[in-house]
Structure 1
Amino acid sequence: MQKLDSIKQISVIGAGILGHSIAQKFASEGYRVHLCDASKENLEQAQVNIKNNLSNLASADLLKSSPKAILSNLHYFEDITEAVKGSDIVIEAVTENLELKKTVLKQIEFVVSEECIIASNASSIVPSEYNIDIKNKSRVLGAHFFNPPHLLPLVELVYSQKTGEAVKTTMKSLLTKIGMHPIGVNKETPGFIGNRLQFALLKEAISIVQEGIATPQEVDKVVKYGFGRRLSVMGPFEVFDFGGWDTIAKVHPNITGEPTPPVIMEKVAQGKYGVKTGEGFYQWDQQSITKKQNLINDIYTYLEQVVGKL
């Protein structure tokens, strides 16, 4: 299977909203990238989008090389066979349609070498569903990018029971190398982590509106001007490490109508309340607390100056 240093060419199949941005990100890091779409119009629009993106990034001084140099790394194809020839990694980024993904992945496997890693940018479909017709399932995994990939660094790497350890390591190393933040999803579940969290919030937001508690606009304001800003620098476990799990254990049943989960009660029983005790789901000392508080202050100040005026 491919090793990090041997990866030179990457193909992205599907030039839509995510596909063109994925291609741009790899090209920006010096890789030769083949971007493929059966639609000539999609490819033309992708080129326009990439040029506009690069212009904006250059203006913000966020590029390692010139837009011209990056564009020279990009090559466009309407034929999938030509697009994937000689590629070390192929990322399928077609629409969220299982049968289409299976067909495309089978076409890819027929052309590429045995060493080539094949990834799918599926948003909710798990690998064991789309790898069913693939002969070498060990080289297949999910690589779920978030829109837009050239600005949002999270990638969820989704593994089936067949995904090889070398494939996991190589993909994680590659994405880390280009400045992304890959995380492994070790158990197949529809929607993985990010979309499960997003749809949990959406479900509750809809319930609030349907129950007449608030309008959609008011719900959005609560997120944008409240905890949404906090979530830009802290995940939920960090947030409530600061809040204190002893308090959360008491509040949880009142808000959810359900017993406090065992994972929280275990922390409380161990006296690991979070920041106030020096440990919760994270370890905390005064240096790490001060660093986080300063970051929060800087981000909140920036967001109030920029987003607060919208």
Structure 2
Amino acid sequence: MTLTEQTPKKVAIIGTGVIGNGWIIRFLANGFDVVAFDPAEGAEEKTKQVIKNAWESVKELGLHPEADQNRLTFVSTMEEAVKDADLIQENVPERVVLKQQVLADIDSHAKGDAIIGSSTSGIKPTELQVQMKNPERLVVAHPFNPVYLLPLVEIVGGESTNQENINLAYQFYEKANMKPMIIDKEIEGFVADRLMEALWREALHLVNDGIATTEEVDKAITYGAGLRWAQMGPFMTFHLAGGEQGMRHMLEQFGPALKLPWTKLEAPELTDELKERVITGCESHAGERSVAELERRRNEFLVKLMDLVEEYWP
């Protein structure tokens, strides 16, 4: 099957935490019907408030002609949520056994041609498939927070996933105005998180060793590497660092230095002292600004930044 403009676009969201709500907003903004289920008390009210807070940001990015907050329906059972859905997005906590159980339950109640996506940020899809009767339709579809603004979604199939369903998942997420990325080989943490974890590891070492504060580390990224990476990423950044000969000259000139011990290959022990340094550093840097205020400013920034990325880099 190939998705067309006439293809039904009904999505089920299972679990409405930060990521689940982000998916809801993403799909509503792009003209999908969304059915949500979360057994937590007050989940529907919280979701509606999150949508209200974020809608202006997605509106600035551009809404689908059929975008409508009223296309969201909350239901009282998971079975009801998934029964007619074309795509089911699972967002329960990162516990392997829990996800296996939930995904098997989803699989047993979903219609035959539905695609099932897990938002896991690190569990291999093969592990998630073990209790499913139809494991061939399970993909990891790992998004990034805030899902309603950041367009990347990493799609990874497990040993039992067939290529047709991977391709269908790609088309679904593309219709939600995302930038899908198919990862052909399973690896814990996939690609983007592996890169971010490496930077996070080094940042913790710098703070732990008293070399830099949390604010100084953030400044180093915000006003240095981060500005360049937003446009073209590390490889093209270093390609430009090589001058006229590009990456060839860069590796010849600076490649030998890669052997120097510039990196700590293991994360530091997360001691109480280190945790307190990180926590107090972040709280001091945030100052009087609440998390809600910081999120609002982040969203405004990301909307403007993505316009620039689209303009200057395909």
Band the TM-score falls in, shorter-chain normalisation: 0.7 to 0.9
Query: 1:94 and 1:43 mapped to 2: Cα distance?
Result: 16
1:39–1:78 Cα contact (<8 Å) kept: no
Shift of 1:201: 0.5
Give secondary structure in 1 for the equivalent of 2:188: coil
Matched residues in 2 for 1:177 and 1:249: separation? Answer: 43
Deviations 1:217-263 (A, max 9, x none): 2111101111111111111111111112223443244355279xxxx
Question: Who is 1:223 aligned against?
Answer: 221
CA distance in 2, matches of 1:10, 1:115: 13
CA-CA distance at 1:173 after TM superposition: 1.4
Q: Is the 8 A contact 1:12 1:90 kept in 2?
A: yes
Q: Distance in 1 between matches of 2:96 and 2:258?
A: 38
Counterpart position of 1:23: 24
The answer for the alignment partner of 2:260 in structure 1 is 257
Shift, 1:8, TM fit? 2.4
Cα drift, residue 190 of structure 1: 0.8
Report the equivalent of 2:131.
133
Give the root-mean-square deviation of aligned CA atoms: 2.3
Q: Deviations over 1:111-165 (max 9, x none)?
A: 1122111110000111011110011211111000101111000000011122111
Within 1, Cα distance between the matches of 2:168 and 2:31? 17
Residues 187-202 of structure 1: pairs in structure 2 closer than 5 A:
187-202=185-200
Residue 156 of structure 1 aligns to a residue whose secondary structure is strand
Q: Say if 1:97 and 1:71 are closer, same or farther in 2 by CA, change over 3 A.
A: same
1:216 shift after superposition: 2.2
Give the Cα–Cα distance (whole angstroms) in 2 for the partners of residues 165 and 82 of structure 1.
28
- Give the structure with higher Rg (CA): 1
- Of all paired residues, the percent bearing the same amino acid is 33
Partner of 2:83: 85
Contact 1:40/1:78 (CA < 8 Å) preserved in 2?
no
Q: 1:247 aligns with which of 240, 246, 250?
A: 250
Corresponding position of 1:269: none
SS across alignment from 1:242: helix
CA distance in 2, matches of 1:133, 1:140: 11
Distance in 2, Cα, partners of 1:212 & 1:61: 41
Q: Which runs of 5+ in 2 are unaligned?
A: 263-303, 310-314
> Which secondary structure state, in structure 2, belongs to the residue aligned with residue 40 of structure 1?
coil
> Aligned residue for 2:64?
64
In structure 1, the residue matched to 2:297 is none
What secondary structure is seen at the aligned counterpart in 1 of 2:182? strand
Shift, 1:188, TM fit: 0.8
Contact 1:13 1:35 in 2 (8 A): yes
Q: Aligned partners of 1:72, 1:3: CA distance in 2, in Å? A: 27
CA distance in 1, matches of 2:58, 2:29: 11
Q: Which runs of 4+ in 1 moved over 3 A?
A: 55-58
Which amino acid letter does the alignment assign opposite residue 254 of structure 2? V
Distance 1:115 1:195, change over 3 A: same
CA offsets 1:5-39 (integer angstroms, 9 cap, x no match): 33321101011101011112112222111111011
Contact 2:31 2:64 in 1 (8 A): no
What is the number of equivalent residue pairs in this alignment?
A: 259
C-alpha distance in structure 2 between counterparts of 1:172 and 1:116, whole Å: 13
Q: 1:117 to 1:194 in 2, by over 3 A?
A: same
- TM-score with structure 1 length normalisation? 0.78
Alignment partners' CA distance in 2, 1:3 and 1:64: 21
- Helix, strand or coil: the match of 2:180? strand
Calculate the TM-score normalised by the size of structure 2. 0.77
1:13 correspondence with 2:29: no
Q: Provide the C-alpha distance between the structure 1 equivalents of 2:154 and 2:208, rounded to a whole number of angstroms.
A: 32
| 5+ residue gaps, structure 1 | 260-297, 304-310
Report the secondary structure of 1:232's partner residue: helix
Q: Given that residues 14 and 93 in structure 1 are in contact (C-alpha distance below 8 angstroms), is that contact kept between their aligned partners in structure 2?
A: yes
Specify whether residues 61 and 19 from structure 1 end up closer, same or farther in structure 2 by C-alpha distance, changes over 3 A only. Answer: closer
Structure 1 CA distance for aligned equivalents of residues 252 and 8 of structure 2: 48
